[in-house]
Amino acid sequence: MAGVEVGQSAAGPSGESVAARKVLELRHIECAYGGLRSVADVSLSVAAGEVVALVGPNGAGKTTLLNAVSGLVAMRGGEVIVDGEDVTGLPAWRRARKGIARSFQLVRLFPDLTVGANVQLGASGKSHPGFIASLLHFPSHQRYRRQTAARALAALESVHLEEKNGDAGSALSHGQGRRVELARALVGEPKILLLDEPTSGLHSGVIKDIVPVVKSAAGRGVGVLLVEHNLKFVGEVAHRVIVLHHGEIIAQGTPTEVMRDARVIEAYLGGAVGIKATDGSGKRAGHTKEAGLAQRH
């Protein structure tokens, strides 16, 4: 299916409406690895304050699409628009400065840096006083460092890990690492937050701490595009669900609508059984995904 147009406003899980300003617009995105097309003519948009979940079977192209948006894989075609500005030709670091932040399917932290320093990396570039100022220890640079450290601590507080600020990145559990990644993505005050399986490998007790973090980011006007297999989590945070299959959008709607959609059931299970929404915690990619949509491999 080619384009899917987003409504001017969407009702959230609790019925609230979100703003219509599009912070992310994807037009006809195409990606391929060698001759193999992994994303085919995908168009979608995310409004400020909207949480959109991207779901689909293994290999559907979800991570590739997030990578294309953040500039980590080359696109064969299409346009990426951030808050009205075309960023298609920009490298990843410049897209980040335009307001795109992301977390990864596998946690990526620097083990030898402190947790606080890992989070501060997400703020780099934000109102930076410049290289010369930092080299010469200008007061403006010292002020910047203090402000960045304070912002990082506040971001850690938002994921309830402020007490880990001075610990090494290597000292974190998997669940803590995921939350630190979220803090790092949020500290730069992005316009659009891309999350690749934020609940992956987490048990339900930790997942419940992630829900308010995503909601409060959206509440501050951040648009969130998250890849997720845990439909219970999706049902709690997402205004809208988009289903990707073989690189194409095959359905979209509320979590409930999507779970009932015959094309979605067919894509996941060959139509044999209904889609099961569970919290399914604890399993890793490559096996049945940790959650939600039971999959055919």
Query: Which stretches of the chain bind ligand ATP, using CB under 6 A?
Result: 33, 38, 56, 58-64, 105, 285
Minimum distance, C-beta of residue 156 to ligand ATP, in the bound complex (Å): 27
Q: Judged by CB, which is closer to ligand ATP: 29, or 206?
A: 29
230 is a site residue for Mg ion (CB under 5 A)? no
Q: How far is CA 251 from CA 43, 219, 291, in A?
A: 12, 26, 20
CB burial of residue 5 (10 Å; 0-12, 13-18, 19+): exposed
Q: Under rule CB under 5 A, which residues in 45-104 are in contact with Mg ion?
A: 63
Q: Judged by CB, which is closer to ligand ATP: 105, or 140?
A: 105
Nearest-angstrom CA–CA distance, 109 and 119? 9
Total residues found in the chain within this entry: 297
Minimum distance, C-beta of residue 59 to Mg ion, in the bound complex (Å): 8
Binding mask 231-250 for Mg ion (x = CB under 5 A): --------------------
Contacts of 23 (CB under 8 A, 6+ apart): 46, 47, 48, 82, 83, 99, 191, 192, 222, 223
Q: Judged by CB, which is closer to ligand ATP: 187, or 251?
A: 251
Q: Judged by CB, which is closer to ligand ATP: 108, or 220?
A: 108
Nearest-angstrom CA–CA distance, 94 and 46? 20
Dihedral sign, CA of 218, 244, 30, 288?
positive
Minimum distance, C-beta of residue 3 to Mg ion, in the bound complex (Å): 23
Q: Judged by CB, which is closer to ligand ATP: 56, or 280?
A: 56
Provide the binding-site residues for Mg ion, judged by CB under 5 A.
Answer: 63, 105
